[in-house]
Structure formats: C-alpha cells, structure tokens
Amino acid sequence: MDTCIHNALHLEAPVDLLFSGEHIVSMTPVGLQPIPEGVRVIDAEGLVLMPSFIDAHVHLREPGFEYKETIASGLAAALHGGFSDVCCMANTRPVNDCAAVTRLIYEKAKAQYPDGPFVHPIGAATKQLLGQELAPMAELHEAGVVAISNDGRPIASTEMMRRVMEYAADFGLLVIDHCEDPTLAEHWVMNEGVVSGKLGVKGQPVVGEALQAARDIMLAQYLHLPVHIAHVSSAMTVALIRFAKEAGIAVTAETCPHYLLLDDSALEGFNSACRVSPPLRSSEDRDALLAALNDGTIDILATDHAPHALHEKMTALDQSLPGFSGLDLAVTLTWGLVRENVIAEDALHRLWCRRPGEIFRIPTNGFAKGDFANFFLFDPHETWTPNDETLYSKGKNTPFYGQELSGRVRHHFIHGKQLF
Amino acid sequence: MMNTDNRYLWQHKDLLDCNQLSCDDVFHLLDLARSFQDIHKRPVRKIPTLQGRTVVLFFVENSTRTKTSFDVAGKRLSADTHALSLAGSSLNKGESLLDTGLTLEAMHPDVIVVRHSSSGTAEFLAKHLSCGIVNAGDGWHAHPTQALLDCYSLRTVWGDAFAGKTLLILGDIAHSRVARSNVVLWTKLGVSVRLAGPRTLLPPGLSTWPVTVFNSLDEAIEDVDAVMCLRLQLERQQAGLLPSLAEYSKRFCLTSKHMAKAKPDAVVLHPGPLNRGLEIADGVADSAKSLILNQVQAGVCVRMAILYLLATRK
C-alpha cells in the first residue's frame, strides 16, 4: 500500500511525502494536490522530515570487543539516531584485513537488521593495521568493502602511505587517513595548549594532525589520486585542505559534531569523559571548522562513533581510552547548530547525506521520484536526556551523558519500511 | 577574604591543589603548622590529637621523603597510618584505580594521601570517595603540600611580608608539579614569580600564566628574593629534550656566582632530592642561604596541619 507522510516540515515548508513500496513517489507542498484515495496517511504535523543520514566513520567493535559494542547494538543506535548507512572501521579483533572478517560483518548485520540500517565495512590499509605490509585489497574489494583505512593506527611511513593509495586505486577504493604524526608527542593525552599546560598533561600539538594531512595532500597531488581526511580537528588542517581544493587536488574531508560543540576547556578538572582522538582543540579551531563546513572545505560530518565500556573511561585522564559514543546523539547535536543558525538546515542534508553518498557511492534519498524511501521524522522540541536507558549504543561514553538535550528522532523509515 | 565573625572555619574535604585555597586558608594552615613545630623538640614527640583516626598513604609512584614525611606527621598526631605502595597494591594486578580507591575507602580511613604518576588522580579519587583526599603529587600537575611547606619555610625568613617579593623558579617547569603548585600559591600571595629554563622544558600556554619567563639564569636571577631550584629528572636528556646534562648544568646550575646577582639576603629552596653539581652547586646547597633542610622539617609540620584539618573537619 502507498503511504503519505502528511504535513511534515521539509526545509521549513509543510509537505506531503508520498511513497510506494521502497521508493519515493512525490514530495509536494501541503494542499497542492489532494492525497490520493486509499493511501495510508501518517500525520507528521510539527515533525521535521529529513533524508536518512550516512555515518561514514563508526567503530562497531565486533568482532573482538563485543563488551563495548556489537554490530546489533551499533545498528540499533544508528536506526534510532537517523542513520540508514554506517561505514565501520577495520580496527576490530581480528582486524578487518581479509574477506572473512568483511563477510562476517555483513552477515551479522544482515541477520540482525535485514531491512537496515546497512553496514559498509571499511577494509584495513595494511595487514593487522601495522603499517608494514599492504592489506589484500583485491580480496577485500571483492568481499564488498566501501573504502580503505588504517584508522586508529596512523600510517607513519610516507612510502607505505603512497603504496596504499596506489594499490587501492587499482580497485577504485578511496583511502581514508587518520592524520596523526605518531613521532610527534607520543603518548599524548589531550590538545597541547593552555589547558594541557595548566593541567600538566602531555599535549598533542595541532601540527601532529596538519603534518600528515599535508603529506597526504601532496601525495594526492603527485599521484593524481584521491584521499579522504578523517575527523579534521584543527584550523591548521582546514587551511591545508582549503589550499588543496583550490589547487584542484582530489581531497575530501570530514569532521565530527564534538569538534563543533566542545573545545579543550572541557577537559578542565581532568574530565576523562572528554578525552577523544584527535583531541578537542581550542575555540579558534572550533570556529574554523564551522566556517569550513559552511564553505564546503570540509565535505561531510561523521560521528567517529567510538563506544567504550564505563570502566575504560572512568579513570585518571591519561589512562582513560579516547573516544565518544556518537550514533544516538549526532542528529540531535547537529540540529542544535541549525537551531542556533550556525549552519543551515539544508547544509545538514548535504553534510550527513548528499556528500557522503557521493564520496562513498551509497545511494541517498533526494526526495525525487524513484529514490529509496529512506527518511526520518524528527521532533525538534522533544527534550530527552542521554543515559543508560535512552542510549541504544552499548557505549554510554558521551560527554553529553546526563545533559538535557532538545530534539529527537521519532520515526525512521528505510526502503519504505517503518523500522520504528 | 576575611571572616566577618573572626572565627575561621576550614571548609575543604580534600586538599587537591593550591587554587582551592583562599589566603585565609593558607595563613590558617601555616599558623596551625607553626603551632606543631615545637612538638619535634619534646622528648615525647607525639600528641593524642588524631588518636583513633586512620590515614592511608597510597603511593603509586616512588617517593621516600614525602611518604615518610606524611607518615611521621600522622604518627606525631597519634593517627594510625597505613602505607600502600605500588609493589604491594593490586593496581599491579590490573585492578582499576576506582576499584582500588573504593577498596581503600571500605576500610574507613579518615584521610587518604595519594601520590600517582597520572595528573588528576587525586581529583578523580576525591570525586568518587567520601573520605578526605590529600594530593601528595599527581603527575606533572600539582603538589600542594610541597608548595605550602615552601611557603612555610619562606615565612620563617620573610614573616608575612610576601607582597612585593620576587621568587625565581628554576629548571624543568614543564614536567614539574612543584612548579605548578608554587606558581598558583605565590601569585595568590602577591609574590612576583619568574620562571627560567630551557625552552624544551617550558610548558605550553605559558604566555597566559601570571609569570615572567627567562631563558637565561643570569638575567632571571637579578634582584630576586628567593630561588627555588627544581630537580632535573635525568631521563629528560634521553627523551631528547636536552643535548647533555653537562650543557644543562652549564646554563642552569645555580652557583654562588649567580646568587651574587640576587638580593643580598636572598634564600634558596629545593624540593629534593638534590642533583648536586647538575642543578645546584655544593656551594649554594650548603650555604647559609639554603633553606633546604628547613624545608624538610617544615614538611612534617605542614602535613600535620593538613591531616589535622581534613581528619577533624565536621
């Protein structure tokens, strides 16, 4: 039966969304044409209609770290967080550096969530993520990886990075790089700056990220091959990417909601809940990232969803594991930026849906006839508090834990099916 | 801020760093420490003040003098002190910091004195445990009882005339909890603080600190009232922060020649243990200007005062 989402708000205009089976039929302003006879009508008054989002950077922890997160719990968080597609990083145990692991991830997801959200595994760039030997990308490609990355274990050797980019190009696989010079500020705890100096903890300077980003950009230029810079955290890296794009170099980049909402002052009082990699930077870096999202220098948003167990965060700052749980909260948090007029509502669709769809070749819903009916309805006024009961992810490690937030995903349809 | 009713009340559950203390707190604590001073001279060096109270010394980093100092302080006040060191603690067996803390608390101590190589450990325990926590040094972050005993020592020379004095802290500032706590305490008391050391041993963000920074000892020491020499950890050279200990010594070892440029009655402090000939010359360490041994004695008095205030807090 055809369904009509009636009177939802799409980019501030009330619309009727008609879909049939898995696909969109039409989206029209309310009242422009009558709702056809015999159609199931869902009243969505007051709810914001958005296309399902893509999270191009998550850690689902399975296989190997099921106490932190499982594919099922991660997908539950994605579903309730408004994501129809998630790209999961390779730093599992065993590492996703062979077809067997890639297939296992697909199978687990399909068994638990046959109708979506969908996983798109990212293969390791080097065996075991050790940075020594190329991962078998032909095999990984055949098994269906969406990209290649050594995320979590940055590639120190420029020679190896070059070979990764070249070899991945044989399969048209995009290389995603976690940019961090591992020889600069080993065992860092947080951003190097006023706060780290005061607290007496080892800081990582922004240069640690920018240096590797510059390396990747120059390799991309020299090799005429694309590279994607993961979780950009600093103004210095933004400037390099801006330069690269102006020079026509094939670089794309992402940043995460937490770099837009928090800065390193959040670590005052040794708040280990706010330890993340790359670390939260200064407020100037935060401003530069917001500007870069608005002018397109940074292409997409991603959560870098990094669930951890409570005991891994609840300890001294330098002993706590870096990372935030992100899938449950990302839409709520970034909607806050729309509410404050920091970014436009349409930019949210671009950053979370259209651009990641283009970069990772995942079909997205542009609300045109024939598009997959992937969308969610969001109540911008509902208030809720992230806690053990409300978060679907097993990772409760968000800096926003216990804070009242405004706006929440209410319903999510994937391929025309209402999954909640 | 002055108490309007003149009846001072210590309000802190823990001593984590000097920034939590008001000037009133500091002077009250130092006065109290002074009142304990004479106990050391008695034939029976013990008073029953903290009889039946329990103090746990939880030292997860090598320390002899600070631990002994707290131990002596507790015993002089008749508290039962129990030492737990890294080798003997189950942190070595993989127990989490929080679990160790909760286990210690289950033994109902009044105060836990903690030394740990991770900055923020004392604050973490204070947040999760209801007993009093004394920070006896956390990573590079803070060492408030050291700063307070430094203050106690200088007070014996300066009296209460702190304002307008100039103190130079010399050496490895970046990795020094002693430096951080002293900067906080002295600037609170109106003392101008200078820092000197090689750029590789200065912390980031120093331009926001209320201090003047020098790269040369000769310039830094001019007309200062006191010099606090920091211990240079020998591993800084291996970490690539210094070309050699010899070159460090050439640039920053405190000698009598330098002291001649300070005020005539300038004094010298050092938290110990000393690397003689590296950061401080024998001639200075053993001179009449040196307060180094007074600092050790002051340490016991100040720690008695801290234990007393935390253990008897209502």
Instruction: Give me the catalytic one of A85, A181, A264, A304.
Output: A304
Please indicate if any CB of chain A lies within 8 Å of the CB of B141.
Answer: yes
Residue to mutate among B115, B119, B146, with most A CBs inside 10 A, is B119
- Report domain extents, chain A: 3-48+371-418, 52-360
Going along chain B from its start, the domains and CATH numbers come out as 18-140+299-311 (3.40.50.1370), 144-295 (3.40.50.1370)
* pLDDT on residue B113: 97
- The count of CB pairs under 8 A between chains A and B is 72
In this prediction, residue B314 has a pLDDT band, given cuts at 50, 70 and 90, of confident
Hey, are the CB atoms on A194 and B97 less than 8 Å from each other? no
Note the pTM of the prediction, 2 decimals.
Answer: 0.94
Provide block-wise average pLDDT over 10 residues at a time, chain A (420 residues). Answer: 95 97 97 92 97 98 98 98 98 98 98 97 98 98 98 94 98 98 94 98 97 98 98 98 98 98 97 97 98 97 98 95 98 98 97 98 98 98 98 98 98 97
Is A177 annotated in the active site? no
Among A90, A153, A152, smallest CA distance to A120 is for: A90
Model confidence pLDDT, tens digit, residues A236-252: 999 999 999 999 999 99
Burial class (CB in 10 A: 0-12, 13-18, 19+), A40: exposed
Q: Give A-chain residues touching B208 at CB under 8 angstroms.
A: 194
Neighbours of B164 (CB within 10 A): 9
Instruction: Identify the helix (H) or strand (E) that includes residue A9.
Output: strand A3-10
* pLDDT on residue B89: 64
Question: Which positions 194-253 of A are in contact with B (Cβ < 8 Å)?
Answer: 194-201, 203, 205
By residue count, chain B amounts to 314
Q: Give B-chain residues touching A195 at CB under 8 angstroms.
A: 205
In this prediction, residue B85 has a pLDDT band, given cuts at 50, 70 and 90, of confident
Among B254, B278, B252, smallest CA distance to B267 is for: B254
The yes-or-no verdict on residue B265 having pLDDT over 80 is yes
* pLDDT on residue B1: 42
Residue to mutate among B123, B124, B184, with most A CBs inside 10 A, is B124
Query: Tokens 């928090």 correspond to what residue?
Result: A262
Average pLDDT over all residues of chain A: 97
Cis peptide before A363 (omega within 30 of 0): no
By residue count, chain A amounts to 420
Residues 6+ apart with CB under 8 A from B152: B30, B33, B34, B298, B301, B302
The CATH number of A52-360 is: 3.20.20.140
List strand residue ranges (DSSP E) for B61-190, in order.
80-85, 111-116, 132-138, 166-170
* pLDDT on residue B2: 43
Rounded distance, CA A24 to CA A26, Å?
A: 6
Rounded distance, CA A95 to CA B56, Å?
A: 44
Cis peptide before A51 (omega within 30 of 0): no
Model confidence pLDDT, tens digit, residues A174-204: 999 999 999 998 999 999 999 999 999 999 9
Burial class (CB in 10 A: 0-12, 13-18, 19+), A397: buried
Hey, are the CB atoms on B204 and A314 less than 8 Å from each other? no
Q: What is the CA angle A245-A249-A252, rounded to 5?
A: 65
Neighbours of B311 (CB within 10 A): 20
SS3 A290: helix
Question: Which positions 204-263 of B are in contact with A (Cβ < 8 Å)?
Answer: 204-206, 208-209
CATH superfamily of A3-48+371-418: Urease, subunit C, domain 1 (2.30.40.10)
Rounded distance, CA A283 to CA A295, Å?
A: 19
* pLDDT on residue B40: 87
Rounded distance, CA A147 to CA B191, Å?
A: 59
Rounded distance, CA A221 to CA A377, Å?
A: 42
Hey, are the CB atoms on B119 and A314 less than 8 Å from each other? no
Please indicate if any CB of chain B lies within 8 Å of the CB of A269.
Answer: yes
* pLDDT on residue B235: 86
Q: Give A-chain residues touching B118 at CB under 8 angstroms.
A: 316-319
